[in-house]
Structure 1
Amino acid sequence: AVLQIELSGEAEYLQFLKEYNLTDGPLRADTLIIKKEPGYRVQKNIGRIFRRFNIVEYKNPWESLTVRTYYQAVSYASVLQSRTEREDAVLPEDITLTLVGNHYPRKLFRFLKKFYGARVEQAFPGIYYVEGAVFPTQVIIQKELPGEENVWMSRLRQDLEMEADVPALAMAYRGKEENPLYSEAMDLIVTANWELYKESEKMCNALNELFAEKMERERVKGLTEGEKRGLAEGERKGRAEGEQKGRGLSVLALLEELGQIPSSLREKIMSQQDANVLTDWLKAAAAASSLEDFRKAAKL
């Protein structure tokens, strides 16, 4: 989603195939981008290297790009080239590899230089071209990308800074909340930075705005599950009990991120009938950094 947003200005020239199946089995690339017009040159910094077929592999913000990552992408490209009816239908020079990660891959670059005699050059800030390997390759280091040009991709990491990153994200997201592409991208960023939400004392209005949607989704999810359980217990209890159980489930969902919840604490939360108390507990759970912090704030 983030890559598609970054290249949205040239979307008419590109076709995005997510989790593209290369075989009838489980072999699939994270994303395959096909240039609709082979002669068109993508202007965006992350797409300048693109040729006709472009395989993209991502790593989670906490993972590193490795030699295995590279060979995995090479295998995808090889399968793509070999499964054509004509040998020259897809030439090696028609394919590029893009590896996206958050950490500079020193071991990978050292390996490529040693075993392939490859040259690694920084083409743009945060974008490194590898020449002389099996396929034309670029490595994108997200945290090194310019925040102005790559608003979304540069911020898909775990260490967002409130002043430098959050206002720009809030501005880029405003008005696009209902767009599935932007919603998916924001969910990835929010999930990667969930711990920031708990730093409530340092939180600015912009951060509240970003994380409010995730909180609401958690609340609604809890409400839905609570309603189902309430209805299963009988129409007599109705929607009110469903909402109370939903709030309780939302509190438990947040606390589970802090560790194993004692059964006694779980029972107290799920037996609470006061909606206002449950709402207070939900806020306390979001702000807590440990179960003990929550107990003190909730007076349990």
Structure 2
Amino acid sequence: MDIQWHPAFCAAAELEFKGNKTELDFQREYNLSKKPLQIDLLVVEKLDDVNVENEIGRIFRKYNVIEYKSPKDGLTIDDFFKTFAYAELYKSQGKTVDQIPINQLTVSVVREGKPEELFRSLVKYGFTVEEKFKGIYYVYGLHLPAQIVVTKELDRKKHRSLRVLSEDALEEDVRAFIEDARKLTAQGDLINVDAILQVSVSANYNLYNELKRRYPEMCEAMKTLMRDEMMEAQREGEMKKARETALKMKKKGYSDTTIADILEVGVTTVQQWFSEKTSVAR
């Protein structure tokens, strides 16, 4: 199964910075051109001198380009500088000359594992890598402020939403994340939690099953937090049953209109079901 890590990362990032969500503008998959060239996440400070609470955002200025690498993605020196190219291309796209000042740009690259080879390459070329906070490495000597965030090393009490985005999530992190998520009430936060859980559960299916077996209250919490996904699955199940019923009724001679009325769906939907059935038969 192809797990969609990037949308979950963006959701996790929004949770990480929820303390400043009224002051930050999150723009996912920001398009740099008509061709498929995108910034994974662009975070723009809405006000001047925003004091970002989360330590990942301490480096932030007005415009902040963030690249996310999923667990299976590598991170070479070429990948690292490609993110700089994205930032510089973004800088060049202001509506007026120097609308996006170069001194108001930052670059962040987020990855689960520590990119040891990249760190060695940066040092070889004369740059300095310093662990500013736990799991957060600043790179000095570049023309833009830059950091590399290693999610596996982040403080588990402060960054649970990022730590559960792993193929080897820890029980402690998962339980703490769900406990924290149960306290959230804002609709946007709950949507982000749902996106994170969908990916984390897919990547750690056995762990979540074991936790649900051992902790029934956690199972109930997950049902609540993932209500939208479960309702969608339920709707898909109901629609599948309705389609099967429609096919049986058609064989018995019912008209499309009658079938649609009885099943409370549109005639177009019924006709589409029959068309799909005919295509499969061919």
Which residue of structure 2 aligns with residue 83 of structure 1?
A: 93
Q: Evaluate the alpha carbon distance shift between residue 190 and residue 211 of structure 1 in structure 2; reply closer, same or farther with a 3 A threshold.
A: farther
Task: State the 1:224 CA deviation.
Answer: 4.0
Q: Is the 8 A contact 2:211 2:218 kept in 1?
A: no
Which residue of structure 1 aligns with residue 194 of structure 2?
A: 183
2:160 pairs with 1:151: yes
**3-state SS of paired residue (2:21):** helix
Task: State the 1:198 CA deviation.
Answer: 4.9
> What do the CA deviations read for 1:96-116 (whole angstroms, capped 9, x no partner)?
11111100001111222223x
Q: Count the aligned residue pairs.
A: 237
Q: In structure 1, what is the Cα distance between the partners aligned to 2:214 and 2:128?
A: 44
Which of 90, 94, 98 aligns to 2:104? It is: 94
Which residue of structure 2 aligns with residue 234 of structure 1?
A: 248
Q: Evaluate the alpha carbon distance shift between residue 107 and residue 209 of structure 1 in structure 2; reply closer, same or farther with a 3 A threshold.
A: farther
Which residue of structure 2 aligns with residue 34 of structure 1?
A: 44
2:73 pairs with 1:59: no
TM-score by length of 1: 0.69
TM-score by length of 2: 0.73
Which residue of structure 2 aligns with residue 19 of structure 1?
A: 29
Q: Is the 8 A contact 1:197 1:203 kept in 2?
A: no
Which of 100, 111, 131 aligns to 2:121? It is: 111
Task: State the 1:229 CA deviation.
Answer: 3.4
Which of 14, 17, 20 aligns to 1:10? It is: 20
Letter in 1 for 2:132: A
Task: State the 1:16 CA deviation.
Answer: 0.6
Q: Evaluate the alpha carbon distance shift between residue 175 and residue 70 of structure 1 in structure 2; reply closer, same or farther with a 3 A threshold.
A: same
Q: Evaluate the alpha carbon distance shift between residue 228 and residue 97 of structure 1 in structure 2; reply closer, same or farther with a 3 A threshold.
A: farther
Q: In structure 2, what is the Cα distance between the partners aligned to 1:134 and 1:110?
A: 19
> What do the CA deviations read for 1:243-285 (whole angstroms, capped 9, x no partner)?
xxxxxxxxxxxxxxxxxxxxxxxxxxxxxxxxxxxxxxxxxxx
User: Which 5+ residue runs of structure 1 have no aligned equivalent?
Assistant: 243-300
137-146 vs 56-65, which deviates more?
A: 56-65
Which residue of structure 1 aligns with residue 177 of structure 2?
A: 169
Q: CA RMSD in A?
A: 2.9
Q: Name the structure, 1 or 2, with higher relative contact order (CA <8 Å, separation 6+).
A: 2
Identity of aligned residues (%): 30
